[in-house]
Amino acid sequence: MSLLASRGLLRSLAKSSSTTTTAPLLRRSQLCSLVRPAAARHQTLSLILSKPTLPKTLALARWQSTERKNVNEVDAKREDNLAHEKLEAHPELVSAESSARPIMAETGDGADARGKAAVPVEEDTDMMAGIRGDLQTIRDTFSLEDVPRQAYYVGMAGVLPYLATSLSTVYCAYEINSAHEHGSGLFIDEKTAELALHVIEPIQVGYGAVIISFLGAIHWGLEWAAYGGMHGYPRYMIGIISTGLAWPTLLLPAEYALISQFLIFNFLYYADARACKRGWTPPWYTVYRFVLTFIVGGSIVVSLIGRGHIADKIEAAGSTPADRIRALRDSQGQSREEEEVARRRFLARKDEDEDEEEEEEEGEGEEEEE
């Protein structure tokens, strides 16, 4: 057994020594084959073959010595053919201006005369394409082409009272500010503008509650018409919740009522958008509701801005609109009485001045007669 183990060990050592000695010889043969002549390459081959080598090493050495050509050899025949070849003229491609191009420019976008594809021309990037796309989206949204004409006209007529009350609020706020700065309003006095403002408040808030209730009732009608199927309580709850949130806003102060209705309008738009996605409403209903909600929401924001400029200039009257109107009428009556008293005082003073002038004239006349 010991004899067999020693023989196996000797075989493995001989195999590893032959492998390690072959690699340096192979690299040396590759380097020498590039610079040595054929005789030297044959000598190198014989040197390699004298050592124990692998089959791959023998094949590589044979190819290096016999088949590989010298890289420095010149093909005289090929060079002679190229020297006698006549160059073809291509005036459509080569001209006085063909070699001069702007730095950022590209050459033609077609195929040249030799059939080779040229570099395509890169078009300039349109920097306004995104903005034009957004404007086109806004134009398509507000065009309401898919909305039935009757629903379009009725819906737009429904937001006109909201828009009118909003603009009236801004006008009254302007008159009140003008009266505080210059002593009098542009067309109406401060008390009249304040009275009109307190009349507009319940109209705007009450009309908003009516519109919110109407938007919820639309889903009841769609449920009764079985549009998109029968869905029962989930559809009825939209109308119930909208009405339950709208009417309590009448009990709030004007500013808080407008803010609450603004949030309710946006909540209803979200509910309508989800209903349209589920197929509970016509496909055009979401865009239709967006435009109407946009107008109403903008009107509420304008009203809040106008009221914010006169929050410290209007009097806090009674808790109800009737009390406010009564208090403003009393204040107007009091102001009229004060104006009447001032007018009478002015007239009495004027009469006294006239009497004094007459007495002075009579006294001067008597002195002249004496």
Beta bridge partner(s), residue 111? 117
Query: Which pLDDT value is given to residue 30?
Result: 47
* 33, 44 contact by CB (below 8 A): yes
Q: Considering the entire predicted model, what is its pTM?
A: 0.53
How far apart CA 316 and CA 326 sit, in angstroms, is 13
Q: What is the pLDDT of residue 325?
A: 67
Looking at the fold, whether 163 and 296 belong to one and the same domain comes out as: yes
* Residue 172 sits in the same domain as residue 319: yes
Other CB atoms within a 10 A radius of the CB of residue 360 amount to 10
Query: Based on the domain organization, do 308 and 202 belong to the same domain?
Result: yes
Q: Is residue 294 part of a domain?
A: yes
What is the pLDDT, as a whole number, of residue 26?
A: 46
What pLDDT is recorded for position 320? 58
- The answer to whether residue 93 sits within a structural domain is no
- Residue 184: its pLDDT value, please? 73
Is 45 contained in some domain? Answer: yes
Q: Are residues 36 and 183 in the same domain?
A: no
Whether residues 174 and 277 fall in one domain: yes
Collapsing DSSP to helix, strand or coil, 225 comes out as coil
47 and 172 share one domain = no
Predicted local distance difference test score (pLDDT) of residue 207:
94
How many distinct structural domains can be found in the chain? 2
How crowded is the C-beta side of 210, counted as CA atoms within 13 Å?
10
Domain end, chosen from 30, 48, 64, is at 64
For residue 132, being part of any structural domain is answered with no
Domain presence at residue 254: yes
| Distance, CA of 336 to CA of 343 (rounded, Å) | 10
**Per-residue pLDDT tens listing for the chain (370 residues):** 444 444 454 455 444 444 444 444 444 444 444 444 455 555 555 555 555 555 556 666 666 666 555 556 677 888 888 888 887 777 777 776 666 666 655 544 444 444 444 445 556 566 777 888 888 888 777 777 888 889 989 999 999 998 999 999 999 988 888 888 877 777 888 888 888 888 898 999 999 999 999 999 999 999 999 998 898 999 999 999 999 999 999 989 889 999 999 999 999 999 999 999 999 999 899 989 999 999 999 999 999 998 888 877 775 544 555 666 677 777 777 778 888 888 888 888 888 888 788 777 777 766 666 6
Does residue 155 share a domain with residue 59? Answer: no
**Distance (Å, rounded) from C-alpha 54 to C-alpha 49?**
10
Q: Answer positive or negative: Cα dihedral of 298, 321, 177, 310.
A: negative
Are 43 and 191 part of one and the same domain?
Answer: no
d(CA 148, CA 152): 6
DSSP code of residue 73 = -
Task: For residues 247 and 23, give the distance between their C-alpha atoms in angstroms, rounded to a whole number.
Answer: 97
Domain that holds residue 231: 151-327
Judge whether 253 lies within some domain: yes
Chain centroid to CA 25:
72
Which stretches of 247-284 are DSSP H helices?
A: 254-277
Residue 127 lies in a domain: no
Same domain, 156 and 57: no
Look at residue 343 and tell me if it is in a domain. Answer: no
